[in-house]
């Protein structure tokens, strides 16, 4: 793909000379003497470099840079400056310009600057595209709520900011937390979940932080943490942010509105205010009913693929019942219903029946295969950490161990190697 280059200068002779140079170098060049015109071309997906004179009558380079950064701070802007404008160019670089070059221009040096800026921009745009594709695949639906959430997650995944995720049980908080980790710069380091309780000690907190070193620490049930440890944790996170060097990224999960927990003195105001700097709300499934059928179909296809089965036919009446169900268990409940449907069990609102879709085989065998797959997938998801798998599947650890023994599943086989 031919790289883009936007060229702005109030001198027509400079424009003509640079246009010729850049075109010969293989760029798709748009040149103008009117800075405001380039702003209509730019967006977050634009892949190219802006080269601008620093001093122009209509709009100087600093003002142009500010307006470009309002569209996307990562668009590279290279400033061209006369000798007397060097202090202004230095100020532009401090404000976020990629670099500057003094007139008369050195063509090889200018082309090298542009090449480096273009490579950096192309890599970023491609990464953003990959992030958006992954988020689109994981957060399914067309409702306004889920569309907004996808945009927020796509942008936050490219940052290192701590995040507060608020949403009811089963709404997908763990999915979003994993997306933020897997799509960010910390993806090669551990993702660790720490369940807080009144019995949690400072040593356990420090252990969790050490286990997640370089990666992400997901904090659950912070409101159960003793008050003195909440204050300690808030201070630790704030000191990390002030130092500019984070040992871990933290993601806090809340089921209820954290403001209520502050009012009830279950959560310290300091920790709440720190975590609330970046906050995402995951809506209950009932608030985005238009997403129910697309989600169910996606979960059903995924379950059938894992089981090596064809996708069964869906009755219109059953789809209508899905849309009108309350879904107190939210997306997790919908996924479970879809997985049961894949093995021939229609379950909704407490009513179960077996649906025939070709030869099924013994029902007990189908249910056992479904259960084994479910546990196996959860073990992969949490790298063999049984306590997290048990919490995810909402069954006691003892019962989970018995099921793992029954199906010959060893937690050690699911732990990362090396």
One domain for residues 254 and 190: yes
The CATH number of the domain where 409 resides is what?
1.10.10
How many residues comprise the chain? 418
> Is residue 192 included in any domain, yes or no?
yes
One domain for residues 177 and 290: no
One domain for residues 295 and 244: no
- Provide CB contacts within 8 A for 83, sequence distance 6+: 102, 103
Q: Which two tokens stand for residue 139?
A: 């957060």
E-strand ranges in 67-162 read 77-81, 99-102
SS3 414: helix
Domain edge (last residue) among 128, 156, 191: 128
One domain for residues 117 and 164: no
> Is residue 348 included in any domain, yes or no?
no
163-166 vs 191-195, strand pairing mode: unpaired
Q: Which two tokens stand for residue 183?
A: 């799509």
What is the per-residue pLDDT across 293-302, written as a single tens digit (0 to 9) for each? 999 999 999 9
C-alpha closest to that of 61 among 103, 96, 12, 20: 96
- Provide CB contacts within 8 A for 179, sequence distance 6+: 134, 135, 138, 139, 153, 157
The CATH number of the domain where 62 resides is what?
3.40.50.2300
Domain edge (last residue) among 235, 259, 283: 283
One domain for residues 372 and 392: yes
Quote the domain boundaries for residue 339: 286-343
Region 254-264: mean pLDDT is 90
Q: Answer positive or negative: Cα dihedral of 119, 159, 174, 142.
A: negative
Mean pLDDT for the chain?
88
> Is residue 399 included in any domain, yes or no?
yes
One domain for residues 107 and 158: no
One domain for residues 99 and 180: no
> Is residue 115 included in any domain, yes or no?
yes
Total domains in the fold of the chain: 4
> Given a cut of 50, is residue 353 above it in pLDDT?
no
What is the per-residue pLDDT across 106-119, written as a single tens digit (0 to 9) for each? 999 999 999 999 99
> Is residue 153 included in any domain, yes or no?
yes
Q: Under a CB-based contact definition with an 8 Å cutoff, are residues 218 and 253 in contact?
A: yes
> Is residue 133 included in any domain, yes or no?
no
99-102 vs 77-81, strand pairing mode: parallel
Place of tokens 């906050």: 279
Model pLDDT, residue 355:
46
Model pLDDT, residue 352:
45
One domain for residues 146 and 207: yes
The CATH number of the domain where 200 resides is what?
3.40.50.300
One domain for residues 151 and 26: no
Q: Which two tokens stand for residue 320?
A: 């209508």
One domain for residues 329 and 204: no
One domain for residues 245 and 194: yes
Helix (H) or strand (E) holding 107: helix 107-138
Domain edge (last residue) among 128, 158, 185: 128
Give Dmax over CA atoms of the chain in angstroms: 86
If one counts every other C-beta atom within 10 angstroms of the C-beta of residue 227, the result is: 12
384-389's contacts with Cβ under 8 Å and 24+ in sequence apart are: 384/411, 384/412, 384/413, 384/414, 384/415, 385/193, 385/411, 386/411, 387/195, 388/193
Q: Which two tokens stand for residue 10?
A: 């109030």
48-53 vs 77-81, strand pairing mode: parallel
Residue 166 CB-density burial (10 A; 0-12 exposed, 13-18 middle, 19+ buried): buried
If one counts every other C-beta atom within 10 angstroms of the C-beta of residue 328, the result is: 12
DSSP state of 222: G
What is the per-residue pLDDT across 196-239, written as a single tens digit (0 to 9) for each? 999 999 999 999 999 999 999 999 999 999 999 999 999 999 99
Place of tokens 């990666």: 215
> Given a cut of 50, is residue 354 above it in pLDDT?
no
Model pLDDT, residue 416:
62
> Is residue 164 included in any domain, yes or no?
yes
Region 300-323: mean pLDDT is 87
One domain for residues 273 and 294: no
Model pLDDT, residue 96:
92
The CATH number of the domain where 301 resides is what?
1.10.8.60
> Is residue 351 included in any domain, yes or no?
no
3-class SS string, 304-352: HHHHCCCCCCCCHHHHHHHHHCCCCCHHHHHHHHHHHHHCCEEEECCEE
């Amino acid at each position: 793909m031919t790289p883009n280059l936007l060229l702005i200068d109030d001198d027509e002779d400079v424009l003509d000379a640079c246009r010729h140079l850049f075109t010969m170098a293989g760029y798709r060049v748009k040149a103008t003497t009117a800075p405001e015109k380039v702003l209509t071309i730019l967006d977050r997906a634009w892949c190219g470099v802006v080269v601008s004179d620093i001093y122009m009558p209509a709009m100087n380079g600093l003002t142009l840079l500010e307006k470009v950064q309002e569209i996307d701070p990562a668009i590279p802007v290279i400033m061209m400056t006369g000798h007397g404008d060097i202090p202004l160019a230095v100020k532009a670089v401090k404000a976020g310009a990629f670099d500057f070059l003094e007139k008369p221009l050195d063509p090889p040096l200018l082309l090298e600057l542009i090449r480096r800026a273009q490579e950096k921009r192309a890599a970023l745009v491609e990464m953003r595209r990959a992030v958006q594709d992954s988020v689109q695949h994981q957060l399914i639906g067309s409702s306004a709520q889920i569309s907004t959430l996808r945009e927020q997650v796509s942008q936050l995944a490219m940052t290192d900011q701590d995040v507060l995720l608020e949403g009811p049980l089963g709404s997908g908080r763990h999915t979003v937390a994993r997306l933020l980790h897997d799509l960010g710069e910390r993806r090669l380091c551990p993702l660790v979940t720490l369940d807080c309780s009144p019995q949690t000690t400072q040593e356990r907190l420090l252990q969790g932080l050490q286990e997640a070193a370089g990666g992400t620490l997901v904090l659950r049930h912070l409101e159960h943490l003793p008050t003195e440890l909440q204050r300690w944790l808030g201070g630790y996170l704030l000191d990390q942010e002030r130092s500019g060097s984070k040992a871990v990224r933290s993601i806090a999960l809340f089921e209820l509105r954290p403001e209520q927990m502050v009012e009830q003195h279950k959560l310290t105001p300091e920790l709440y205010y720190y975590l609330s700097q970046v906050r995402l709300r995951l809506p209950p499934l009932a608030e985005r009913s238009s997403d129910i059928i697309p989600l169910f179909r996606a979960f059903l296809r995924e379950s059938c693929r894992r089981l090596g089965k064809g996708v069964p036919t869906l009755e219109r009446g059953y789809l209508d019942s899905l849309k009108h169900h309350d879904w107190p268990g939210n997306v997790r409940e919908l996924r479970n219903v879809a997985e049961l449907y894949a093995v021939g069990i229609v379950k909704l609102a407490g009513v179960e029946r077996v649906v025939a879709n070709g030869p099924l085989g013994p029902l007990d065998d189908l249910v056992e295969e479904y259960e084994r797959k479910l546990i196996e997938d959860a073990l992969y998801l949490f790298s063999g950490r049984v306590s997290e798998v048990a919490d995810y599947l909402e069954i006691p650890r003892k019962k989970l161990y018995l099921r793992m023994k029954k199906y010959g599943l060893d937690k050690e086989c699911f732990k990362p190697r090396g």
